[in-house]
A and B are shown apart, each in its own frame.
Chain A
Amino acid sequence: EAGVAQSPRYKIIEKRQSVAFWCNPISGHATLYWYQQILGQGPKLLIQFQNNGVVDDSQLPKDRFSAERLKGVDSTLKIQPAKLEDSAVYLCASSLRGSMNTEAFFGQGTRLTVV
């Protein structure tokens, strides 16, 4: 079974530029998550999709971050404009359902450096 795929693996941009990350979840998984992991901290949920609808985006900085999940499969996370404090690893995860008794599987992440 293929895992969660993310691209790119690494990205370096200057502040005020824009950037986009892509995630392809495990086939058949209805729930997709984007987490932000700042160096030295645990991952923090940015947004959660159930199929193509947003379930939770309470911690997404909506003035600069946006995300979509077209057709309930792939997802993109965009930052525009980027700030220095956005430097982090962005992890995508998916699960069969969004309930707590179903395992979430994580991708390898995209490491973003904003200079």
Chain B
Amino acid sequence: AQSVTQPDIHITVSEGASLELRCNYSYGATPYLFWYVQSPGQGLQLLLKYFSGDTLVQGIKGFEAEFKRSQSSFNLRKPSVHWSDAAEYFCAVGTGSGNTGKLIFGQGTTLQVKP
């Protein structure tokens, strides 16, 4: 069965430091992979997605993620974290075919940013 694991429940980094959030997936075929961010009281916003091609994908707000098939990973990175990046981050894998696509989410990683 398809699944997504985010090993880190909470991460605290200092403002200006680099960030890496881990994501491992289980999926039989070539996966569609996503990272979403959820600020308090807000819905989910798409940061970036990977479908095929270049394994390093760029997203909004300075985020990037690298797809590594051999490790079944899709880690999210940012070179320099801003206080406004404090939020909950969800990795997801897309399943289904045709118009039956749906997302399976990991449990999320809460990012705290220290001043």
Interface positions of A (Cβ within 8 A of B): 3-4, 30-31, 33, 40-45, 48, 50, 55-56, 91, 93, 97-104, 106-109
**Residue count of chain B within 8 Å CB distance of chain A:** 27
- Among the stretches B12-20, B65-73, B76-84, B89-97, the one at the interface with A is B89-97
Known: A40-B107, A98-B98, A109-B43. 16 other contacts (CB 8 A): A31-B99, A40-B108, A42-B4, A42-B106, A44-B105, A50-B99, A91-B43, A93-B44, A97-B99, A99-B98, A99-B99, A100-B32, A100-B95, A103-B49, A106-B36, A107-B43
A101 and B4 contacting across the interface, CB-CB below 8 Å: no
Prevailing SS type, chain B contact patch: strand
A91 CA to B51 CA, complexed, in Å: 24
Asked if B28 is at the interface of the complex by the 8 Å CB criterion, the answer is no
Q: How far is the CB of B61 from chain A (nearest CB, A)?
A: 16
Asked if B114 is at the interface of the complex by the 8 Å CB criterion, the answer is no
Q: Given A48-B100, A98-B98, A101-B32, verify A41-B43 contact (CB < 8 Å).
A: no
A108 CA to B39 CA, complexed, in Å: 10
Q: Given A91-B44, A106-B44, verify A42-B107 contact (CB < 8 Å).
A: yes
B100 and A55 contacting across the interface, CB-CB below 8 Å: yes
A45 CA to B95 CA, complexed, in Å: 12
A45 CA to B44 CA, complexed, in Å: 14
Asked if B53 is at the interface of the complex by the 8 Å CB criterion, the answer is no
Chain B 16-37: CB-based contact to A (< 8 A → 1; otherwise 0): 0000000000000000100010
B44 and A100 contacting across the interface, CB-CB below 8 Å: no
Asked if B46 is at the interface of the complex by the 8 Å CB criterion, the answer is yes
B108 and A42 contacting across the interface, CB-CB below 8 Å: yes
Asked if B41 is at the interface of the complex by the 8 Å CB criterion, the answer is yes
The contact of A43 among B44, B46, B94, B98, by CB within 8 Å, is B44
B45 and A106 contacting across the interface, CB-CB below 8 Å: yes
B42 to chain A: which residues have CB within 8 Å? 108
A98 CA to B51 CA, complexed, in Å: 15
Please, which residue of chain A has its CB at the minimum distance from the CB of B96?
A100
Q: How far is the CB of B91 from chain A (nearest CB, A)?
A: 8
A43 to chain B: which residues have CB within 8 Å? 44, 90, 103, 105
